[in-house]
Amino acid sequence: MLKIILLFIITAFAEIAGCYFVYIWFKKAASAWFLVLATISLALFAWLLSLHPEASGRIYATYGGIYIIMSLIWLRVVDHVKLSLFDLVGAGIILLGTAVIIAGWRTN
C-alpha cells in the first residue's frame, strides 16, 4: 500500500511540475526551455499514471485526492502561501475520502 501511495505522490508531483513550468514560461516570460521541461514532466506523469494497479476510474478518483493534497503542499512550499484552516480541513476530508476508496480496492 505504501508503494502505491508513493507512486501517487510522484505522479502528482510530475503533473504539477509540468503545469508549473508552462505557467513560469507564460507568466514570467521565461525561456522556451521551460516548455521542454513541461513536456518531459507531463510525459512522465502520463507514463506513471499507467503504472497504477487498479481500474482507471478508481485510479483517477484516488489520484484526484492525492493531487489536491500535493497541490496544497506545493502552494505552501513553492508559492510560500500560508494554508488556511479551510485548506487544512478540506485536505483532511479529501484524505478520508481517498482512504475509503483505496480501502475498497481490497474488497473487489
pLDDT digits (tens, 9 = 90+) for 22-40: 998 988 888 889 999 999 9
Model confidence pLDDT, tens digit, residues 59-106: 788 888 888 999 999 999 998 999 999 999 999 999 999 888 888 776
pTM of the model: 0.78
Q: How confident is the model at residue 107 (pLDDT cuts 50, 70, 90)?
A: low
Instruction: Give the phi and the psi of residue 14 in degrees, each rounded to 5.
Output: -60, -40
pLDDT at 18 over 90: yes
Instruction: Report the candidate in 13, 30, 28 with the shortest Cα–Cα distance to residue 74.
Output: 13
C-alpha cell at 41: 514532466
Residue-level pLDDT at 10: 92
Residue found under cell 479551510: 86
